Structure 1
Amino acid sequence: MRRSAALTALALLAAACGSSGGGGGPAGGGTFTYAIPADPGILDPAMGVLTVTNTTLSLAYDTLVNLSPDGKVVSGLAEKWDVRPDSVTFTLRKGVTCSDGAPLTPSDVAASVNHIADPATKSPIYGVLVPTGMKAEADDAGGTVTLSMPKPFSFILESARAIFIVCGKGVKDRSLLARSTSGSGPYQLTEAVPSDHYTFKARRDYAWGRQGATAKDVPETVVLKVVPNEQTAANLLVSGSINGAVFFGPDRARLEASPGVGKKVISQGNGQFFYHQGDDRPAHDPAVRKALTQAVNLKELAGIASSNTGRPATGLVLEPRPCQGDSVTGHVPAFDPAAAAAALDAAGWKAGADGVRTKGGQRLTLRLMYATTRGAGVQAAAEYLGAAWKKAGAEVKLNGMIDTKVSESLNATQDWDVAWLPIGVTLPSQLAGFLSGPAAPKGANFAHLSNSRYESLIAKASLVPAAEGCPLWLQSESALFEDADLVPVVENTVLQASKGGTYEMQSGFFVPTSIRLTAGG
């Protein structure tokens, strides 16, 4: 996996916003306005690493398959598929057209995949959303396209639900995709004003959505309004100026108590922290990692980090998970300050006159890095961790910074010992490059992890069909927690709020055919 993929994982956790916009009108007309927290940037699907970018793209682009709410694969552009250990052949629906009127062909699908996999493209989603080594071959006469891997791959079918398919003019001229769309989705981008708004118009002929969904009753217009300040977004929602957004900060409580606001609590990835295991770091020693974990009351930390809106963490993959089960409970070192102190003593870290432990003249110093853009809960969580580890005999230096600086420190400067870092993926296989393999800056393994049991389990799991491999994938996550390679603290939730409209989202993507305006919208 490419080193740039580490940035992808961090970016995929940016909170996605969903909404329906003001403008009024019955189903099938009017304007649905949706607040997004940042500008989506370049709109070429091959370069889409931020959640806000993929949220935007999901209005205009389709995927070969989709997932049902319970995680089952259902139809998309493909009406059926034939899965083999190292390949999957999709039969495309007939009558699908691109936004410019051109018919969708298997060659378009193959070009979308192969463009991402081409090293010259330098696509940051290659190795994450598109598995490393994947190739596509089209049979236009037969109406099929085959995705293949060099060896058996567990999630070869499931991986197709994250690949946006470019068609029409955009296939031949990718430069058109920077600020426009060329997809088969139910909406087409008609206006892009960076850092302000993006306007999409409905394609009324659209009739090939998931399981045959159409665009007959969706709003005529969807506007994505860039609203970086969550309090401003909340004010706009309450006043009816926008019809929806996702909230995770202090304004969430206000909206939950606000009459007339539609409310849905959804999962939004884990709050968790990693130990840097480089050769010169204290946490290189597994005994130190386990002791530092035992020194923290993770239940209290979970409440602080999530402002008491989270749920117990049960795994590393976003819902809906292809592998259901709890890989966390019983596998994380339990809170035991006395055992933590004894373990640090046994590892040779002795308390000095000032209370800070030392070993061989080196102080037990932990530089704790976290993103200041993740809200007050993460700041408070960092302070709580600092206090717990100081009590255990560590010297803790809190280092809060914006997301871009966190990414730089993870990969280039490596100036950290512990990082509060949520990573959001939809398949367990997408984690492998971050949790094993070449260490940063040569690879995406930013924490320098080397867990032989994890590597053995994922190697076995990757070679069998997804359902058969799920127990192994879950065991591989547990192996990481048992060695305190990373510590899952809490499953974060966000409030998906709406007013004057309804909509569904899945893993940061719109389900665009679900968007509706309601009375008073």
Structure 2
Amino acid sequence: MQNNAITTTVIIAAIALAASGCTTGGKQAPAAGETPGAAGVLSTDTVNAAIDIPATFDPTQSLSLPDFTAARMSFDTLLRVGKDNDLVPGLAEEWDSKGTKTTFTLRDGATCSDGTPISATVVKNSLEHLAAPDTAYTGANDTFGITGLPTIAADDAANKVTIDLAAPWPDMLRMLSTAGSGIICPAGLKDTKALAAGTAKGAESGPYLLTEKEHGVRYIYALRDGYDMWPKYKEPLPGSPAKNVVFNVISDRNAVANQLLGGQLDTGFINPSSIPRFKDEPRFVVAKQPFSDFYVLFNERKGSPFADEAKRRAVAQILNRETFEKITDEGAGQTSTQLVADGTTCSNPAQSPVIPLDPEAAKSVLSGVKIKFVGTQVVGPKGSGNVYVEEQLRAAGADVTLSNLDLGGWIGTVYGKPGDWDMTVYAGLNFAGSMSSKLNDLSGPDVQAGGANVGANVNPTLDAALARFRSATDESAQCAALQEGMNSAISQANAVPLTNSPLVMVARDGFAAVSQGLSLDDQSLRITK
């Protein structure tokens, strides 16, 4: 399967960062429970939340955090991520994987919002739409692999769906827990324009219906009558689901903080700079979760200075991760020694062969080197992280030109103009919760050839490690292969790890915004009093 759009971790990461605040104070998150309030009577049936403007209501076209939020409200996925970063039942009761085949047994009784039963055929048709090149789902390769289209079969009598991949692809199950893979009912597949506009009645497989929208102002969702296909988490979530969720469009995260403190909002994302405002406020719970991985990515094509490993290593020698984190996230983030957040499956940050700081040694390599450095303004406030990197390059004697671009300009340059950049600070989201999702962007054919290799990186050791990962049948062998690949990419400076920038969610007393494991797109909004 060739890339039918820009690779998932790139465009989604950058857009999601631009559309979210980037994380603690307040009191600790409440323990899981079943019933809010001593008398079991809710104080309200509505949650007022903040959101940026969704660009689509079609899960397969989701690119930004608000897109994913909208998808999660209305479209259920086969699997979900649990508290321990494990997979738990969504629409699928159980699943069994052998080689390239995975069979899902669906839960009984699930229906679309128009009453259509969610049969095996309904799920099959939705998954085929997800995989089809014409759909241009940015996560298709990350879900089904890069070798070819999957074969999907339905057995309505047994309530089973089988996916047979063209080649082994261990990340498929985790990708089928992400919001973009939400099951679209027949009414939505029949009219994808109405689906994208949020007006395809009966398209929804999930709990909430978009009942009112004032585009760019607010979006109101109502809980479906009789819906009972909630994910089967090991522990119940706190409180109860809201009957109504009102998403108010507020792009300024400082304004979100103001409205939370003023009582106009019940939940919302805030900037790290606003965290101290909630430190001594017992009315709020402030929680952060790993979000975007920042790392330096090099253009290794012929003509770029970073086709030379020595120059890539020299860049690593001048960048202080702790300083970068303070500039971009003010102490709320996480310094990284790998290209993934701590706790990611198979990660082992303590043994990473990070290139140590040595600014003096770097000067002899970088002095006089002309560097075209392209950055996006989501890397810290107004691209401040890029400015730090530029300053370090200049201090090492490099002749650097920084283009601190808006999102569209950055994407157009890094993906469409390979001769116009030499290095960038890359912002990647790890939807699969896997080390492989980051390594895939450093291996194989480059973007211009239909692959995912953004910088045309050349690393045979990494390529071989990924091949072993994809064919391995047990987790220990998969992890060993991924560790070898990650270590190779870092030791050869194909990429230089910097930080993980967090997402900060605030919930007012009486409400909860619950994220499970390392899931990036699955916040459950609950009423707890």
Q: TM-score range with shorter-chain normalisation?
A: 0.7 to 0.9
**Structure 2 residue 207 is the aligned partner of structure 1 residue 186:** yes
Whether the 8 Å contact between 2:376 and 2:406 is mirrored in structure 1 is yes
Counterpart for residue 22 of structure 1: none
Give the stretch that moved more between structures: 231-240 or 162-171.
162-171
Q: Distance in 2 between matches of 1:319 and 1:52?
A: 25
How many angstroms does 1:324 deviate by? 3.6
Deviations 1:121-165 (A, max 9, x none): 233232134434333211111110011111222233333212211
Cα 1:330–1:104, aligned 2, differ >3 Å: closer, same or farther? closer
How many angstroms does 1:318 deviate by? 5.6
Q: Distance in 2 between matches of 1:171 and 1:434?
A: 31
Counterpart for residue 512 of structure 2: 502
Q: Describe the SS at the equivalent of 2:139.
A: coil
Q: Distance in 2 between matches of 1:145 and 1:68?
A: 22
How many angstroms does 1:474 deviate by? 2.5
Q: Describe the SS at the equivalent of 2:303.
A: coil
**Structure 2 residue 484 is the aligned partner of structure 1 residue 472:** no
Q: Distance in 2 between matches of 1:7 and 1:145?
A: 25
Partner residue of 1:31 out of 32, 40, 46: 46
Counterpart for residue 493 of structure 1: 502
Partner residue of 1:336 out of 358, 367, 390: 358
Give the stretch that moved more between structures: 100-109 or 159-168.
159-168
Cα 1:216–1:254, aligned 2, differ >3 Å: closer, same or farther? closer
Q: Distance in 2 between matches of 1:293 and 1:30?
A: 52
Counterpart for residue 143 of structure 1: 159
How many angstroms does 1:367 deviate by? 2.2
Q: Distance in 1 between matches of 2:278 and 2:151?
A: 46
Q: Given residue 255 of structure 1, which amino acid in structure 2 is its aligned partner?
A: F
Cα 1:260–1:214, aligned 2, differ >3 Å: closer, same or farther? closer
Q: Distance in 2 between matches of 1:490 and 1:467?
A: 26
Cα 1:122–1:301, aligned 2, differ >3 Å: closer, same or farther? closer
Q: How does 1:298-317 map to 2 (within 5 A)?
A: 298-317=321-340
Q: Distance in 1 between matches of 2:500 and 2:271?
A: 13
Q: How does 1:336-485 map to 2 (within 5 A)?
A: 336-342=358-364, 344=365, 356-357=367-368, 364-376=369-381, 379-414=383-418, 415-425=420-430, 426=432, 427-443=434-450, 444-465=452-473, 467-468=475-476, 469-485=478-494
Partner residue of 2:71 out of 57, 64, 78: 57
Give the stretch that moved more between structures: 365-374 or 61-70.
365-374
Give the stretch that moved more between structures: 146-155 or 89-98.
146-155
Whether the 8 Å contact between 2:379 and 2:386 is mirrored in structure 1 is no
Cα 1:328–1:306, aligned 2, differ >3 Å: closer, same or farther? farther
Q: Distance in 2 between matches of 1:404 and 1:243?
A: 32
Counterpart for residue 126 of structure 2: 112
How many angstroms does 1:494 deviate by? 3.0
Cα 1:484–1:131, aligned 2, differ >3 Å: closer, same or farther? same
Q: Given residue 161 of structure 2, which amino acid in structure 1 is its aligned partner?
A: V
Counterpart for residue 173 of structure 1: 191
Q: Given residue 151 of structure 2, which amino acid in structure 1 is its aligned partner?
A: K
**Structure 2 residue 286 is the aligned partner of structure 1 residue 263:** yes
Cα 1:85–1:78, aligned 2, differ >3 Å: closer, same or farther? same
Q: Distance in 2 between matches of 1:68 and 1:92?
A: 18
**Structure 2 residue 56 is the aligned partner of structure 1 residue 42:** yes
Deviations 1:388-447 (A, max 9, x none): 221222012221111111111111123222211111122334335421222233333221
Deviations 1:483-510 (A, max 9, x none): 1111111122232111141121343323
Whether the 8 Å contact between 2:439 and 2:486 is mirrored in structure 1 is no
Q: Describe the SS at the equivalent of 1:386.
A: helix
Cα 1:310–1:84, aligned 2, differ >3 Å: closer, same or farther? same
Deviations 1:82-107 (A, max 9, x none): 11111110110111111111110111
TM-score (norm 1): 0.87
Whether the 8 Å contact between 1:205 and 1:215 is mirrored in structure 2 is no
Give the stretch that moved more between structures: 227-236 or 25-34.
25-34
How many angstroms does 1:185 deviate by? 1.3
Q: Distance in 2 between matches of 1:318 and 1:196?
A: 34
Counterpart for residue 361 of structure 1: none
Q: Distance in 1 between matches of 2:44 and 2:152?
A: 39
Cα 1:369–1:124, aligned 2, differ >3 Å: closer, same or farther? same
Cα 1:462–1:82, aligned 2, differ >3 Å: closer, same or farther? same
**Structure 2 residue 150 is the aligned partner of structure 1 residue 134:** yes
How many angstroms does 1:173 deviate by? 2.9
In the comparison of the two structures, how many residue pairs are matched? 492
Q: Given residue 513 of structure 2, which amino acid in structure 1 is its aligned partner?
A: Y
CA RMSD, 1 decimal: 2.7
Whether the 8 Å contact between 1:195 and 1:226 is mirrored in structure 2 is yes
Q: Given residue 153 of structure 1, which amino acid in structure 2 is its aligned partner?
A: W
Q: Distance in 2 between matches of 1:432 and 1:292?
A: 20
Q: Distance in 2 between matches of 1:431 and 1:234?
A: 32
Q: Which runs of 5+ in 2 are unaligned?
A: 23-39
Whether the 8 Å contact between 1:28 and 1:218 is mirrored in structure 2 is no
Q: Describe the SS at the equivalent of 2:105.
A: strand
Cα 1:107–1:150, aligned 2, differ >3 Å: closer, same or farther? same
Whether the 8 Å contact between 1:70 and 1:320 is mirrored in structure 2 is no
Q: Distance in 2 between matches of 1:306 and 1:276?
A: 26
Q: Given residue 431 of structure 1, which amino acid in structure 2 is its aligned partner?
A: K
Counterpart for residue 219 of structure 1: 242
Counterpart for residue 233 of structure 1: 256
Q: Which runs of 5+ in 1 are unaligned?
A: 19-24, 350-355, 358-363
Cα 1:27–1:58, aligned 2, differ >3 Å: closer, same or farther? farther
Q: Distance in 1 between matches of 2:502 and 2:286?
A: 12
How many angstroms does 1:3 deviate by? 6.1
Q: Describe the SS at the equivalent of 1:498.
A: strand
Whether the 8 Å contact between 2:514 and 2:523 is mirrored in structure 1 is yes
How many angstroms does 1:328 deviate by? 6.7
Partner residue of 1:68 out of 78, 82, 90: 82
Q: Distance in 1 between matches of 2:239 and 2:107?
A: 18
